Amino acid sequence: MMRILVLGAAAGGGVPQWNCNCGICRSARQGGNGIGRSAQASVAVSADGDHWFLINASPDLRQQITDNPQLHPRHGLRHSPISGVLLTNGDVDAIAGLLTMREGSPFTLYAHDNVLSILRANSIFNVLSPVHVKRQPIRLEEPFALTLPDGRPSGLKVTAFAVPGKVPLYLEGGAPDPDAVDTIGLLIENGDSRFYYVAACAEVTPDLAERLAGAPMVFFDGTLWQDDEMIKGGLSAKTGRRMAHLAMSGAQGSIESFKSIAVDRKIYLHINNSNPAWHPDSPERHHLTQAGWEILPDGTEISL
């Protein structure tokens, strides 16, 4: 058994994004068109309801904790049910929330060594003192147990695997490293319960399709509806491909790619504020719903 709490479904910037005046962000700000506000992508997972592990620490983490009683302190003067954080890449929207967790509560930070070295190279992350925060490298394809701060097992088991991605935006421009592992996906298990977290992904490769086949639940990259929507909308010069994010629509898109992969629940995460599927009554939302995909409001809790 597992409990999974959606802390945020939006991509970098959130909905609304601080400087964005697009229709979706305006509606979210003003409360119109049924478009709710959404924090930057992250979920929390627990086997017992008492101890939680975050997948990524979004820049909205302080508010996400405040908004979700599952993550509030339970006893004593200083306490947090958050026992650990797993990072799936080094993007700002995956790591900035770590700075919120600097007040001396113990937890374990799990990340691939490429992401741990980004943290080591940025001394601001030294606010997470090694006295309280253990940094544990994630090795690909080697299942490992998540432990509680006192060393007891949490009940949760994780297997990480590489997915097509790219270096974080702020590191672009260096010499490309073809062997670099920039983005990982996660399989989280407790007994017979399991789900996958792949909230950044440039392509559904045959290997990935095979891995996900038969899964009860997958969180998947929902950044864009259409590869060039940010260009068409006048928001940015970048395509989804350029950002290593697969679009929902199109022949190579996630809706089409998953048609031949048997997955019981398919949930989009990391949905950019340019994505028309944020409109609950849009043709795009209708299309993805018909194809068996879900977009969940922040604060949704799932039992598996």
Binding residues vs ligand MLT (CB under 6 A):
11-12, 91-93, 169, 200, 243
Nearer to Zn ion, 183 or 273 (CB): 273
- DSSP at 39: P
Nearer to ligand MLT, 141 or 172 (CB): 172
Paired tokens of 275: 């994505």
DSSP-based three-state secondary structure for 191:
coil
Q: What is the contact mask toward Mn ion in residues 2 to 21, using x (rule: CB under 5 A)?
A: ---------xx---------
- Segment contacting Zn ion by CB under 5 A, of 23-31, 113-121, 140-148, 284-292: 23-31
| One residue of 93, 229, 284, 298 binding Mn ion per CB under 5 A | 93
- Segment contacting Zn ion by CB under 5 A, of 55-63, 93-101, 121-129, 269-277: 269-277
- Segment contacting Zn ion by CB under 5 A, of 28-36, 184-192, 249-257, 268-276: 268-276
273 binds, among Zn ion, Mn ion, ligand MLT, none (CB under 5 to 8 A by kind): Zn ion
Task: For the chain, give the number of residues.
Answer: 304
Nearer to Zn ion, 25 or 54 (CB): 25
What residue type is assigned to position 115 of the chain? V
Show Cβ contacts of residue 243 under 8 Å, excluding neighbours closer than 6 positions: 166, 223
Task: Produce one character per residue of 272-289: b if its CB has 16 or more CB atoms within 10 Å, e if not.
Answer: bbbbbbbbeebebbeebe
DSSP-based three-state secondary structure for 115:
helix
Specify the DSSP element, H or E, that contains 6.
strand 3-8
Which of 28, 62, 9, 48 lies closest to 267, judged by CA?
9
20 binds, among ligand MLT, Zn ion, Mn ion, none (CB under 5 to 8 A by kind): Zn ion
Quote the least distance from Cβ 264 to ligand MLT, whole Å: 26
Show Cβ contacts of residue 83 under 8 Å, excluding neighbours closer than 6 positions: 51, 52, 53, 107, 108, 146, 147, 148, 149, 154
22 binds, among Mn ion, Zn ion, ligand MLT, none (CB under 5 to 8 A by kind): Zn ion
Return phi, psi of residue 54, to 5°.
-90, 135
| One residue of 6, 10, 20, 133 binding Zn ion per CB under 5 A | 20
| One residue of 6, 11, 25, 204 binding Zn ion per CB under 5 A | 25
Quote the least distance from Cβ 20 to Zn ion, whole Å: 3
Pairing of strands 144-147, 153-162: antiparallel
119 binds, among ligand MLT, Zn ion, Mn ion, none (CB under 5 to 8 A by kind): none
| One residue of 182, 273, 284, 295 binding Zn ion per CB under 5 A | 273
CB nearest ligand MLT: which residue?
Answer: 12
Paired tokens of 218: 């997958």
Nearer to Mn ion, 10 or 146 (CB): 10
243 binds, among ligand MLT, Zn ion, Mn ion, none (CB under 5 to 8 A by kind): ligand MLT
DSSP, residue by residue, 65-109 = HHH-GGGS--SSSS--SEEEEE-S---HHHHGGGGGG-SS--EEE
226 binds Zn ion, rule: CB under 5 A: no
Residues that bind Mn ion (CB under 5 A): 11-12, 91, 93
